[in-house]
Amino acid sequence: MKNNIHISRDIDDIFPLFQERNVIMVADEYFRSHDSSLDAIDCPRLWICADEGKKTLDTVAELIDSMLEYGADRDTLVLAAGGGITTDIAGFTASIYKRGVALGSVPTTLLAQVDASIGGKNGVNVNRFKNMVGVIRQPEFVFINPDFNRTLPVREYRCGIAEMLKMFCISDREAFFGLLQHKDDVGEELIRRAIDVKMDIVEQDEMEHGMRRILNLGHTFGHAIEKCSRDYLHGEAVSVGMVLAGQVSVSLGAMPYEELSLLRESLRSAGLPTGTDIGFEELREAILQDKKSMGSLIDFALPLKIGDVRLRRLSMEQLEDGYNLL
C-alpha cells in the first residue's frame, strides 16, 4: 500500500498514473478557485462543496447521477482532488458506483495528505454523526504535492499539523517535537514520516479489527465535539480530543500529569485549541453513537506518554472522570 503513495512537487509526475484511462475528477470549489495546476488534465469535472454538512448520501447520489450522465463505466477512474471531505466523498462514491470503480486521490490539504486520503477509509455522515456509512477500500494511487499547502488558510493548515502531531504522539516522540520546530513550513520528510506511522499500522490491520483503532487517538471526544458544535474544524476537535484523552489517562493513573501538561502546551504552541466549553452530558450521546463504541464500552486510544499509545476498553464513567479531571 505504501508503494501507491507518491510525493512530488512536479505536477507532471501525476500523468503516468492514469494515462489512457477514462477519468472523471471530483474536486472541491475551494480548489477550483485557488489552484489551476490540474487544469491540464482533460476530463469531466464534478464540483462539490467541501463542507461537513454536505458530506452526505445526498451528495453521493448527485455524483452518481452525474457519472451516469457522463457515461462512466466499470473502467472509469474517479480522481479526487481536494481536502479530506472531498476525498472521503469521492472515495465512497467510487467504491459503490457499479459495485466499485478505481480511485486516485490528489489531496490538496495537509490533513488529507497525511491522514484522510490514505489508509483506504471512505465515508459520509448521517445526521451529523461522523462517517456513519462507509467502506475500507484502498485507492489505486495517492499523489501528494506539498506545494498545495502554501495556499491553505491558517486554520486548515493547523488542522493538518494536529493530525501529524496525533500520528507522532502514537509512536514517534522524536518527530512530535521535531514537527513543533518546523510547524510553519512542513517539508516532505515530515509528511513522509507521518504517512509511514499510519501506513505501518494500516498494513498490519487494514480492516480495523484491532490495532488500527489506535489511530483514533483524540477522535472519540473529537468526533463528539464536531457533532455538538460547528465551531471546530476536524483537526481542532482532534486536538481537544487528544488533551481529553490525556486527562482520561491521568485519571486512570496511566499517564503522569507532567506529560499531560507537556502535550497540552505543545498543542497550544502549534496554535491549536486544547479545551471546550461543551459539557460531558452533551457529548455522551454522540460518544455512544460513535463507531468505536461497544454497547456501553468504548475502544479508546489511551496515551501513556507522547510516543506511546495503547488501546483500552473503557466505560463511559471512566471517560467522564477524565473529562472532569481539570
Angstrom distance (rounded) from CA 28 to CA 52: 12
Say whether 6 is catalytic.
no
End-to-end CA separation in angstroms for the chain = 42
For residues 145 and 9, is the Cβ–Cβ distance under 8 A?
yes
- From 109, 183, 184, select the one nearest 145 (Cα to Cα): 109
Catalytic site residue from 213, 219, 227, 292: 219
Catalytically annotated residue among 216, 226, 236, 292? 216
Q: What is the C-alpha radius of gyration for the chain, rounded to an integer number of angstroms?
A: 19
Measuring CA to CA, which residue among 122, 298, 120 is closest to residue 207? 120
Q: Can you read off the three cell numbers belonging to residue 276? A: 471546550
Instruction: Take residue 55 and report the three cell numbers written for it.
Output: 458530506
Residue that has been written with the C-alpha cell 462512466 in this structure: 72
Report how far apart, in Å, the C-alpha atoms of 43 and of each of 76, 78, 271 are.
11, 10, 39
Please give the Cα distance from 84 to 82 (Å, whole number).
7
Q: Contact at 8 Å (CB) between 27 and 89?
A: no
Q: Which residue among the candidates 55, 183, 213, 223 is catalytic per the annotation? A: 223
212 is catalytic: yes
* Residue of 130, 166, 193, 198 marked active site: 198
**3-state DSSP assignment of residue 297:** strand
Catalytic-role residue among 208, 226, 236, 259: 208
Question: Please, what is the Cα angle at 195 between 143 and 171, to 5 degrees?
Answer: 175
- Which is catalytic among the residues 55, 183, 193, 212? 212
Query: Assign residue 277 a region: left if phi > 0, alpha if psi is -120 to 50, beta otherwise?
Result: alpha
Q: Say whether 208 is catalytic.
A: yes
Assess whether 223 carries a catalytic annotation: yes
Residue 150 appears among annotated catalytic residues: no
* Residue 178 vs residues 84, 156, 200: alpha-carbon distances, Å: 24, 20, 20
- The one catalytic residue among 158, 166, 193, 234: 234
Phi-psi region of 51 (alpha: psi -120 to 50; beta: other; left: phi over 0): beta
Could you list the active site residues? 99, 121, 163, 198, 208, 212, 216, 219, 223, 234
